[in-house]
């Protein structure tokens, strides 16, 4: 059956801010305390979605979460009216309060790991919402993420939404940011590529020294089991711990794949040859493109600053084009970086499927370490499955216009971390989200609606 890849982008939430919450994420740390512009952030994201829709690709949208999370603050012992809870938490426990305010659910590459039905033994699409336990502000996302996925992928005979993995360090799971799928066509059985940062139990295997390795081998293995991946349909590889220590906190900051292409830096994996061998074995006679970027071409520092590897590779074939060409959707920071831009011109001219470069301004998200690929969750669906989802989340011109106006109506254009304690911000956010659940036909997914 024919199948296509949908990009489900996260809509940036009204509390988008720079609190510097992510140790190991260079942009998040270096922009701590800066003033954000939630309205521009949401609009930049929406414009990226529109660009992909206009290329003829399947584009959908996932909603933000309720922030500040009153539920989380109550779990932390605060009580009283919502406004009292906010005031007390902000003055007595600033760190907890900032965690409760983050709009980090916008990076839907971290929402879940998804296995298309062509790869699974029971022929269903499997989702595991990521527990994100490595960072407090992200560990509070998974409950609502689960509900959101259930409100979009409603057909239980086609979609299995698993519970998140147990909330323990051994099961640290960051979702699709460390997961890529190779295939000859979206509808045929693929090779799912899981990259992890550390063996939790085996302390003899090298691990990063400076920054945390967020994804564990044990978590990736649990997902492979839960998703019932066909034998030989998965490949596990360890990330190079040295690059984690240089700011590569997810594999999607140093490698990205699509169909028969792996675009990666030479220092991405602990054992590059093992990765290549397994992919070559899987593809047999079919052509595979390893696009390997060397230190001489682009340094790790430039890769982390520009987010070259956090570009989206999208297939234009069967959509915008007849041939098998692919486009790279890049953040503006790649154009601004001389070495990276020079490399990209050479890449475009070389013998590989990537022949189109699309540059998008995502500055607000980038300043928190979230590039084009962080903002989207890829979901491959065949025709019957795509007919069975909640179609109100699929982006078209009308939905774009409606969401753009919704942002204008509800979002602030300036937010510093002190104004997060303004109780009015919660009131504004809830009004926005309440309206959004109607636009996207999601039902009562938020704690304040239940
Ligand atoms: O988890 N930043 C996110 C960025 C996630 C990027 N996702 C992928 N690479 N797929 C993170 O580090 C910063 C929030 C703050 O500092 O306020 C933050 O959470």
Mutate to test the pocket of ligand 1, among 362, 365, 370 (most ligand atoms within 8 A of CB): 370
What pLDDT sits at residue 323? 60
**Nearest-atom index, ligand 1, CA of 24:** 12
With a 6 Å cutoff on the Cβ, whether 374 touches ligand 1 is yes
For ligand 1, atom 5, which residue shows the shortest CA distance? 370
Distance 100 CA to ligand 1 centre (A): 14
Distance 22 CA to ligand 1 centre (A): 6
Mutate to test the pocket of ligand 1, among 18, 22, 38 (most ligand atoms within 8 A of CB): 22
CB count within 10 Å of CB 170 equals 16
pLDDT tens-digit profile of 50-79?
A: 999 999 999 999 999 999 999 999 999 999
Q: Which residue is listed with tokens 């590039």?
A: 371
With a 6 Å cutoff on the Cβ, whether 21 touches ligand 1 is yes
Distance 103 CA to ligand 1 centre (A): 9
Burial class (CB in 10 A: 0-12, 13-18, 19+), 357: middle
- Go through the domains of the chain in sequence order and give each one's CATH number: 3-67+102-449 (3.75.10.20)
What pLDDT sits at residue 322? 47
What pLDDT sits at residue 320? 46
Report CA dihedral (30, 35, 38, 41) to the nearest 10 degrees: -50
Distance 21 CA to ligand 1 centre (A): 8
**Nearest-atom index, ligand 1, CA of 249:** 9
With a 6 Å cutoff on the Cβ, whether 309 touches ligand 1 is no
Instruction: For 291-320, give the DSSP string.
Output: EEEPTTTS-HHHHHHHTGGGSEEEE-BTTT
Instruction: For 416-434, give the DSSP string.
Output: -GGGGG-HHHHHHHHHHHH
With a 6 Å cutoff on the Cβ, whether 369 touches ligand 1 is yes
For ligand 1, atom 1, which residue shows the shortest CA distance? 22
**Residues of the chain below pLDDT 50:** 319-322
Residues with catalytic roles? 174, 250, 374
What pLDDT sits at residue 324? 74
Distance 143 CA to ligand 1 centre (A): 18
């Amino acid at each position: 059956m024919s199948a296509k890849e949908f990009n489900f982008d996260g809509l940036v939430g009204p509390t988008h801010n720079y609190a510097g919450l992510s140790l190991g994420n260079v942009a998040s740390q270096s922009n701590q305390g800066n003033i954000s512009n939630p309205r521009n952030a949401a609009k930049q994201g929406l414009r990226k979605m529109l660009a992909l829709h206009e290329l003829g690709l399947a584009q959908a949208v996932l909603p933000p979460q309720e922030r500040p999370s009153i539920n989380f603050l109550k779990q932390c012992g605060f009580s009283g009216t919502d406004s009292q809870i906010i005031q007390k938490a902000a003055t007595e426990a600033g760190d907890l309060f900032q965690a409760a305010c983050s709009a980090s659910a916008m990076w839907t590459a971290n929402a879940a790991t998804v296995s298309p039905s062509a790869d699974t033994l029971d022929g269903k699409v499997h989702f595991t919402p990521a527990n994100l336990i490595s960072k407090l502000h992200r560990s509070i996302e998974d409950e609502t993420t689960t509900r959101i996925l259930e409100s979009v992928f409603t057909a239980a005979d086609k979609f299995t939404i698993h519970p998140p993995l147990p909330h323990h360090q051994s099961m640290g799971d960051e979702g699709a940011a460390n997961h890529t799928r190779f295939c000859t066509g979206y509808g045929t059985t693929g090779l799912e590529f899981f990259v992890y940062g550390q063996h939790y139990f085996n302390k003899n295997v090298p691990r990063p020294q400076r920054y945390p390795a967020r994804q564990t081998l044990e978590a990736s293995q649990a997902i492979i089991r839960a998703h019932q991946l066909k034998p030989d349909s998965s490949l596990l590889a360890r990330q190079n711990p040295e690059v984690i220590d240089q700011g590569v906190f997810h594999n999607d900051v140093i490698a990205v794949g699509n169909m028969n292409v792996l675009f990666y830096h030479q220092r991405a994996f602990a054992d590059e040859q093992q990765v290549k061998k397994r992919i070559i074995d899987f593809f047999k006679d079919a052509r595979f493109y390893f696009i390997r970027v060397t230190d001489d071409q682009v340094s790790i520092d430039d890769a982390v600053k520009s987010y070259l590897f956090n570009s989206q590779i999208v297939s234009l074939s069967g959509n915008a084009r007849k041939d098998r060409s692919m486009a790279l959707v890049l953040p503006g920071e790649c154009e601004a970086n001389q070495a990276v831009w020079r490399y990209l011109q050479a890449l475009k001219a070389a013998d590989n499927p990537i022949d189109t470069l699309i540059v998008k301004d995502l500055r607000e998200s980038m300043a928190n370490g979230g590039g084009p690929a962080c903002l989207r969750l890829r979901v491959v669906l065949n025709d019957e499955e795509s007919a069975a989802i909640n179609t109100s989340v699929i982006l078209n011109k009308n939905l774009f216009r409606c969401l753009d106006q919704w942002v204008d109506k509800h979002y602030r254009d300036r937010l510093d971390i002190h104004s997060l304690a303004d109780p009015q911000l919660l009131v504004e956010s809830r009004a926005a989200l309440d309206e959004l659940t109607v636009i996207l036909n999601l039902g009562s997914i938020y704690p304040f609606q239940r």
